Structure 1
Amino acid sequence: MITPFQALACPLDGAPLIPAGAAWRCAAGHSFDIAAQGHTHLLPVQQKRSRDPGDSKEMVAARRRFLETGVYAPIAAAVSRAVLDAGAADRPLACLDAGCGEGYYLRRLAEAAEAAGQGLAVLGLDISKWAVLAAAKQERRMGWVVGSNANLPVLPATLDRVLCLFGFPVYPEFARVLRPGGLLIQVDAGPDHLRELREVIYPVLKPERPASLVPPPGFEMDGVDGVHYAAALPSAAIIADLLLMTPHLFRATAEGRARAAALTALRVSVDVRLTRFRRA
């Protein structure tokens, strides 16, 4: 059974949020409306760095189109295994995707959990209001909030799993919200990830930084797995969507972007590192 995770904290004072009609409220009277689509905005203006932080509406749409092609399905399957294979629970696993985008990986996780008979209490969080809106429109059984990894609106020690997939980890916050023994599952690009596309848009590829095997404070290393395969991008539209959902579009020169736009098909390497950190 898939249900929304509800151990939410007020982003202004950290107190528990209690559902009250069409809003969440804390004891101090701070109130946050639940939108018609089911999501809640828990990113106060003082915690924003811009008027519209995170991915734009166009970037979210591109990511959704690309992910629904299934090119990254093996990554989603590896994430789902990492969440579920750590041991079945006699209660729903509480899981946060910190930087959930439009919810692709959580939807795949929900499918895997249902097939395994494992209950999930799920929260998707993203700083982009467009991403959270898109996620909420597609899946109403989960909780969705606009928020920041730097100040997670989650009560301490209430989560079994935190996902950070191609995102921006804030380890002190992840440690705060995870129960002892809970898992942080982090996915990062490996040295060959999308190498063929990067060779098109950059004159010279920068050397990759070696991955650190030192766990962050509050965590122990639980294991590292790699996901490696080749993927076909059979159209200019798919290539354009992939480029738009990565930082490479904004780092490339105008000439590099033009070379990418001229492609009509491309075969790329997918190379990611899945690291599991256990809350000490």
Structure 2
Amino acid sequence: MNSHPFDALACPLDGAPLTQEQGAWRCASGHSFDIARHGYVNLLPVQRKRSSDPGDSKAMVAARQRFLNAGYYQPIAEAVSAAVLEDSAEHTPLACLDAGCGEGYYLRQLAAMAGPAPLELLGLDISKWAVQAAARQGIAGQKGLPGAAWVVGSNANLPVQARSLDRLLCMFGFPVVEEFTRVLKPGGIWLQVEAGPNHLRELREIIYPTLKPERVNDAPVPAGFTQSATQTLRYTLALQGNAAIADLLAMTPHLYRATAEGRARAATLETLSVTIEVKLSKWVRNV
């Protein structure tokens, strides 16, 4: 990959630009944020945390890492990467944020698909365990996805300078329209991936007594954006072995929503044919 450093971070305390120097990110006001030994920086002030350890747990992150690295969601990654790279300038670095990056799978896949196309990558997640895992991993044997910035932070207060991003990914995450509007350049693209009505249906039928009627997900186009495209991706996974099934359940909110009886039924499974259905929406920030 042709990686360029992402340097448009902003101080989470006063919004001023951050500059990297001597193992830390600093702003002109003197606020300083140390870079951890694994290469990430924590830009989530303690006063903005709703708990002492927000976001996915270490166990959830590990389960997601195993499941994604096995390639089960590769078709989703390929569709998202193609949408990111579409209409990008050949020699101009493309600044891209994954807002809710987890352990960095989708940015690594994007970097692999981009080839020589220049990228400036930023992965952000509220879970320190997810960001730590993302910073540790690499692409093509290169540790940590060289040039990428990994940040513990919140979508509600993105530590990113205004109008600095060309692309923004929100993969099964929590969008914050006002913040996404602020950080995207005019003409920048927001890609939202959400579960479709039949996503993981067979698993849900096992862990819940009954399934609630599916809501039609026709959300309006966010204010300040123009809809560019929508795409539904649907395929079937044949999972073999209890470990893969357990990882799938553990990486989703269903692990905590299911009853004890439902989790016990899932724990006995050795095979599972499950539907993957996601909706990819592409919105362009108005000029």
TM-score, normalization by structure 2: 0.95
- Structure 1 equivalent of residue 67 of structure 2: 66
Cα separation, 1, equivalents of 2:89 and 2:281: 20
- Residue 37 of structure 1, CA deviation: 1.1
Deviation at 1:87, TM superposition (A): 3.2
- Report if aligned partners of 2:42, 2:153 keep a CA contact under 8 Å in 1: yes
> Are the aligned partners of 1:226 and 1:273 in contact in 2 as well (CA < 8 Å)?
yes
Shift of 1:85: 1.3
1:48 corresponding residue in structure 2 = 49
Secondary structure at the aligned position of 1:78 is classed as: helix
Matched to 1:75, the amino acid is I
CA distance in 1 between counterparts of 2:172 and 2:51 reads 21
Q: How far apart in 2 are the matches of 1:199 and 1:86? A: 41
The amino acid across from 1:128 in the alignment is S
- Structure 1 counterpart of 2:166, from 143, 150, 160: 160
Q: What's the CA shift for 1:122? A: 0.2
CA distance in 2, matches of 1:148, 1:268: 32
Does the 8 Å contact 1:62/1:242 carry over to 2?
yes
Q: Which amino acid aligns with 2:60?
A: M
Task: State the partner residue of 1:22.
Answer: 23
Q: Which runs of 5+ in 1 are unaligned?
A: none
**Equivalent residues, number:** 278
1:4 touches 1:123 (CA, 8 Å); kept in 2? no
Question: TM-score normalised to the size of structure 1?
Answer: 0.97
1:208 shift after superposition = 1.7
In structure 1, C-alpha distance between the alignment counterparts of 2:60 and 2:78, rounded to whole Å: 23
Shift of 1:159: 0.1
Tell me how large the CA RMSD over aligned residues is. Answer: 0.9
Cα deviation for residue 212 of structure 1 reads 2.2
Written as runs of structure 1 = structure 2, the 5 A alignment for 1:133-212 is 133-139=132-138, 140=144, 141=146, 142-212=148-218
Task: State the percentage of identical aligned residues.
Answer: 64
- Give the ranges of 4+ consecutive aligned residues of structure 1 lying more than 6 Å apart after TM superposition: none
What's the secondary structure of 1:55's corresponding residue? coil
2:6 is equivalent to residue 5 of structure 1: yes
Q: 1:133-159 CA distances to partner (integer Å, 9 max, x unpaired)? A: 000011321110000000000000000
Shift of 1:88: 3.0
